């Protein structure tokens, strides 16, 4: 059974900021490709929240896992993104819903943002 995902307000703000920065630095086409990659990552997490490429991050917060979006390059419908640099932090609510908590740059310390 595939779970569904829900974005917190913080995750929505993160994605808006990431895509805005992508458009500013690399153009609208790059922004669209990055958006497709993020969407592919969210779908992959919903399909396999405990998949082998996810990591337990209970060191950050109880029941939190993360997934680097680079692992979804093959599922993305857009042209390949050269070097994706964002990580999705999420938790399973137990009711078939994956709550996406944050989408942070790979060099960001998640303990400071959750």
pLDDT tens readout for residues 72-81? 988 877 778 8
Residues near 86 by beta carbon (within 8 Å), at least 6 away in sequence:
18, 38, 68, 69, 103, 104, 105, 106
Q: Which pLDDT score is estimated for 94?
A: 77
Cβ neighbour number for residue 98 with a 10 Å cutoff: 22
Rounded Cα gap, residues 41 and 75, in angstroms: 8
Q: Considering only the C-alpha atoms of the chain, give the largest distance between any 2 of them, rounded to a whole number of Å.
A: 39
Dihedral sign computed on CA atoms, order 68, 73, 77, 81: positive
Confidence check: pLDDT of 2 > 70? no
Write the pLDDT tens digit of every residue in 33-52.
999 999 999 999 999 999 99
Domain 4-112 has CATH 3.30.2310.20: yes
């Amino acid at each position: 059974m595939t779970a569904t995902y829900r974005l917190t307000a913080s995750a929505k703000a993160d994605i808006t900021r990431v895509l805005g920065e992508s458009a500013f630095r690399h153009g609208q086409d790059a922004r669209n490709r990055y958006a497709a990659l993020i969407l592919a990552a969210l779908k992959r997490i919903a399909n396999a929240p405990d998949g082998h490429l996810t990591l337990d991050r209970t060191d950050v917060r109880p029941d939190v896992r993360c997934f680097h979006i680079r692992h979804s390059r093959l599922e993305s419908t857009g042209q390949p993104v050269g070097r994706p640099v964002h990580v999705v932090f999420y938790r399973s609510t137990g009711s078939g819903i994956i709550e996406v908590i944050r989408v942070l740059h790979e060099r960001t310390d998640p303990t400071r943002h959750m």
